[in-house]
Amino acid sequence: MTFLAPHPATVALLLADARLPGGGHAHSASLEPALRGGMAPADVPAWMVGRATTVSLVEAGTAVVTARLLAGAGPVTAADAGGPDDRVDGVVRAWAARTPSPALREASRLLGRGYLRVARTLWPGSAAVRVVARHDAAARRAPGAPHGTGTPPRAVVLGAICAAAGMPPADVVRLTVYDDAQTAASALLKLEPLDPLAPARWVLDACAAAEEHVLRVAACATPEDIPASGAPLTEGWAEAHAHETQRLFRA
C-alpha cells in the first residue's frame, strides 16, 4: 500500500487558512492591544510592515530552527517517553528571551496548545510532532522543574508541523509572516470601519517588506541564530491589554 503525502505547499495553504480550527480566530496578532493603546488606525499599514520585519521574524526563526532540529528526530521510544526534550527546550528558551512580554508569551503558548491539537490529529505518526507533544506534557507536569521554560509556543509547534510536512525553510518564513499579517488584517475589520479589501493590500505589502529577510531567517540553524528584533511598544500594549475587561480578542 502506498501512503500519499500532501505537497508541502498544500500544507502551507492549510496552515495559512483561517478556517483551520486551531483557535486562531480569537486572536488579533497584537492589533487590538495596539489600537486600544492609542495607535492611530491610519498607522496600521506601517505597523504591519514593522511586525513583518521584526517580531514576525522572531516567530519565523523559531519555527525554522525547530523544524531543522527535529527534521531528523527518530521515533520516540517508551524509555524516553516521559521527559522533556533538550532540543525543544533550547528553542523555547531562545524564543522566550526574545519575547519579553509575559502576556504575549502566554497567548502564544495558548495558541501552541491549540496548534498541538491540530498537529497531533493531522500528523499522528510524525516523530517531530511527538517530540514537541512529549515536551509539552513534561512541561505541564513539572512547571517549576529545570526544564520549566513552559509549554511550547505556537512557533515551535509550527516548526514541528513543518518538519513533518517537509516544508522548505523559506516557505516556513513566508507562512509565518503571512499568517501574522492576515490575522491582524482580519481582526482590523472587526475593530475599525473600512473597505474589507484595503487590509488585503496591506498584507501583501507587509509580506513584500519581509522578503529581503526571508533567506537570512531561513538559514537559521541553532537557537542562537533566531533574530532578536523586538517591538517594545507592542510588548507594552500587550501587557496593558491583558488587564482590560472589555476585549474582543485574546491578544
Q: Residues interacting with other proteins, by CB under 8 A?
A: 19, 21-28, 110, 113-114, 116-117, 120-121, 133, 136-137, 187, 190, 245-250
The one-letter code for the residue type at 55 is V
Query: For residue 53, how far is the Cα from the chain centroid?
Result: 15
| 87 vs 109 by CB, closer to other proteins | 109
117: nearest Cα among 100, 98, 136, 103: 136
Half-sphere exposure of 171 (CA within 13 A, CB side): 16
Rounded least distance, CB 106 to other proteins, Å:
12
d(CA 159, CA 166) in angstroms, rounded, equals: 10
Rounded least distance, CB 187 to other proteins, Å:
7
DSSP class of residue 126?
-
d(CA 101, CA 186) in angstroms, rounded, equals: 23
| 53 vs 182 by CB, closer to other proteins | 182
Rounded least distance, CB 168 to other proteins, Å:
27
| 101 vs 151 by CB, closer to other proteins | 151
Cβ atoms 87, 69 nearer than 8 A: yes
d(CA 17, CA 12) in angstroms, rounded, equals: 9
Rounded least distance, CB 23 to other proteins, Å:
3
| 34 vs 210 by CB, closer to other proteins | 34
The one-letter code for the residue type at 109 is R
Rounded least distance, CB 246 to other proteins, Å:
5
d(CA 186, CA 165) in angstroms, rounded, equals: 26
Rounded least distance, CB 247 to other proteins, Å:
5
| 84 vs 114 by CB, closer to other proteins | 114
The one-letter code for the residue type at 225 is D
| 28 vs 234 by CB, closer to other proteins | 28
3-state secondary structure 156-194: HHHHHHHHHHCCCHHHHHHHHHHHHHHHHHHHHHHHCCC
The values of phi and psi at residue 243, to 5°, are: -100, 0
Rounded least distance, CB 86 to other proteins, Å:
20
| 209 vs 238 by CB, closer to other proteins | 238
